[in-house]
Structure 1
């Protein structure tokens, strides 16, 4: 009797990952249609900054050469949700920026208000960035919007160890 699992000719893992990225798209479409986030919902979205189709300002690319996490909560504008990507306006240290993020670039989606999280594997032919050295997690964004203007946090505290 053979205990090894045969190789599948159907890419089930890729199909499941694409379906879960569709969850992110559907949630963002709902937020776009409703004109904002309901209740205390807010999102941390981590993405690979060098993935095909990502467009972010050069100063953010320099600061986050592999992976970046954005917070969608109080201060965002021009959320546009398309079939294969979304774009959003955010402020970084009081500087407005428009980001374009393909769903294939997303590696994590968290809604801490309801303890919901998704983690994605890199697409075929891509590799995950080396994990950074452990550091203390940053404080959560202030609910009244009185933060330093930075919308970048680490998702490490939400990842499974």
Structure 2
């Protein structure tokens, strides 16, 4: 999660996270490649002290000049933004859907991340989504269009044009 913009990136999905899965430096490289030129604007990566994160994963980020910071032991409030996202994704999505395999989980989480980044209002962003243009002031619409997300589990409302 990018703390300043609250933009979420889902790196991978697995039923049984192991050190081998977490050390797949390809996940880190995919994130950095997906960020493109924006990756140079990041100075820190805050992560927990899980033993699954090894030096190989850290090296992928430090090679791009991103310093790795770890949270204090048993201090979930140090990473409060991510903890809040995890609470939101569980309450709004995964606790309400029966996930039947990794591919389905990957699909559901990708769709939820898209909703979280482009359709879900955030209090810290003055009820805007992370992908909203901050220079555009939304005007009240005469007609509202409802769009279903995750098969109708979540509804997004937009101005009808």
Q: Which has the higher contact order (CA 8 A, sep 6+)?
A: 1
TM-score (norm 1): 0.23
TM-score (norm 2): 0.23
Greater share of strand = 1
Larger Rg: 2
Greater share of helix = 2
